[in-house]
Structure 1
Amino acid sequence: MDLPRRSVRSHLLGLIAAAVVPVWLFAGYLLGQYALQERYRFEQDAVQTARQVSLVVEGELANLQTILDGLSKSPALASGDLQGFHREALDLVHGTDRTIVLRDLGRNQLMNTEIGYGAALPSVAPIEAVDREKLNRSGVFVSDVFTDKGSGEYRVAVAIRVPAPKGEDLLLSLSVPTARIRDVLMRAVPEGWTVGVGDRDGNYVARSKLHDEWTGKPGLPGYVEKIVGRSGSFTSRNFEGATLLAGYYRSPHSDWFYTANVPLSAAQAPLWRSLAAICGIGLLSLLVSVALGYFVGKRFTQATAELATRAEALGHGRSVEPLSTSVTEFAAIAQAMVDAERAIAERRYELEAVLETAPAAVWFTYDPKALQVIRNRFAAELMGLPTDAHKSFGRPDLVIDTVAVKDGHVVSREDRPLSRAMRGQLTDHEEFAYTLPSGVERFLLSSARPIRSPGGRIIGAVQISLDITERKRGEEQLKLLTNELNHRVKNILAVVQSIASQTLRNATSLSEAGRTLSSRLVSLARANDLLIQQNWSGADVKDLVATSVSSHAPIDRFNISGESVWLPPNVALSAALAFHELTTNALKYGALSNETGTVSIQWKLLGQKQHRWLNLEWRERGGPPVEPVERKGFGTQLLERVFASGTSGRVTLKFQKSGLVCTMRVNSASQVNPTVDNDDTPGGES
Structure 2
Amino acid sequence: MVPVWLFAAYLLVQYALHERSRFEQDALQTARQVSLVVEGELANLQTTLNGLSKSAALANGDLEAFRGEALSLVEGTDRIIVLRDLERNQLLNTEIGYGADLPPIEPISAGDREKLRASGVFVSDVFASKDSKTYRIAVATKVPAPTGEDLVLSISVPTARIRDVMMPAVPEGWTVGIGDRDGNYVARSRSHEEMTGKPGLPEYLEKIVGRSGSFTSRNYEGITLLAGYYRSSYSDWFYTANMPLSDVQAPLWRSLAAICGIGLLALLVSIALGYVVGKRFTGATADLAARAEALGHGRTVEPMSTSVTEFAAIAQALVDAERAIAERRYELETVLETVPAAVWFTYDPKALQVIRNRFAAELMGLPTDVRKSFGAPDLVINTVAVKDGHTVSREDRPLSRAMRGELTDNEEFAYTLPSGVERFLLSSARPIRSPSGNIIGAVQISLDITDRKRGEEHRKLLVNELNHRVKNTLAVVRSIASQTIRNATTLPEAGRTLSNRLISLAKAHDILTQQNWSGADLNDLITASIKPHASIERFQISGGKVWLPPNVALSFALALHELTTNAIKYGALSNAKGKVSISWKLVGQKQQRRLELEWRETGGPTVGPIERKGFGTQLLERIFASDSAGRIVLTFERSGLACDFRVNLFEPNEAEAHFPSSET
**Fold conserved between structures, TM > 0.5:** no
Which of structures 1 and 2 has the larger relative contact order (alpha carbons within 8 angstroms, sep 6+)?
A: 1
Question: TM-score scaled by structure 1?
Answer: 0.42
Which protein shows a greater Rg?
A: 1
